[in-house]
C-alpha cells in the first residue's frame, strides 16, 4: 500500500508518534469521523463527476449514525481483541450530543465505529481500516459501486 497520509503529515509538520490506545475515545472518534467521511467522499468523487449537491446526498446516506451503527454490527465478529476494545471504549463514552436522526444506542455504536476508524488511521493501519469499511458496507448492502 502507498505511503500513509499520517506518515507524511508527521514528517512535514514534525509530529511525534503517540500511544493512541491512551487517547480519549471521543478524540479518536473526532478524527475517525472525518477519515470515514473522506473515504466515502473519495469513492463517490472517483466514480463520476457529479453535482456537489448530489455528492452530498449520496455521502449523507453512508456517513449518518444509523448506517455507521449497522456497519459496526456487521463487522464486530471480525474485530481483533484490540479493535473490539477500542470500539467498546468509543461505544461506552459519554458524548455531550446525540445525532438528530438516530437513537442514543445508534449514536453510541457510531461513536465506537468512528473511534475504531480513528485509531486504525492514527496507527497507520490503512489496509485494515479500508478492509473493515468495505466489508461492513458490503454486508449491509450499501457498498457504492
CA distances (Å), origin 85, targets 21, 63, 73, 88: 9, 22, 14, 5
- What's the distance, Cα to Cα, between the start and end of the chain in Å? 21
Active site annotation includes 33: yes
Indicate which residue of 10, 19, 33, 37 is catalytic: 33
- Cell of residue 85, nine digits: 476494545
The rounded distance, in Å, linking the Cα atoms of 58 and 45 is 10
Check if the beta carbon of residue 82 is closer than 8 Å to that of residue 107: no
Number of neighbouring beta carbons within 10 Å of residue 5:
13
The rounded distance, in Å, linking the Cα atoms of 35 and 33 is 6
CA distances (Å), origin 28, targets 52, 57, 86, 142: 28, 26, 9, 24
Q: Which residues are catalytic?
A: 33
Amino acid at each position: 500500500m502507498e505511503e500513509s497520509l499520517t506518515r507524511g503529515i508527521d514528517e512535514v509538520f514534525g509530529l511525534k508518534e503517540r500511544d493512541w490506545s491512551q487517547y480519549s475515545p471521543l478524540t479518536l472518534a473526532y478524527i475517525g469521523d472525518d477519515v470515514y467521511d473522506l473515504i466515502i467522499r473519495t469513492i463517490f468523487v472517483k466514480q463520476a463527476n457529479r453535482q456537489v449537491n448530489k455528492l452530498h446526498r449520496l455521502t449523507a446516506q453512508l456517513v449518518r449514525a444509523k448506517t455507521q451503527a449497522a456497519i459496526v454490527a456487521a463487522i464486530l465478529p471480525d474485530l481483533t481483541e484490540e479493535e473490539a476494545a477500542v470500539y467498546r471504549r468509543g461505544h461506552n463514552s459519554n458524548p455531550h450530543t446525540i445525532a438528530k436522526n438516530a437513537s442514543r444506542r445508534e449514536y453510541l455504536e457510531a461513536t465506537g465505529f468512528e473511534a475504531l476508524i480513528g485509531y486504525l488511521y492514527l496507527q497507520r493501519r490503512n489496509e485494515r481500516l479500508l478492509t473493515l469499511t468495505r466489508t461492513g458496507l458490503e454486508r449491509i448492502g450499501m457498498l457504492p459501486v
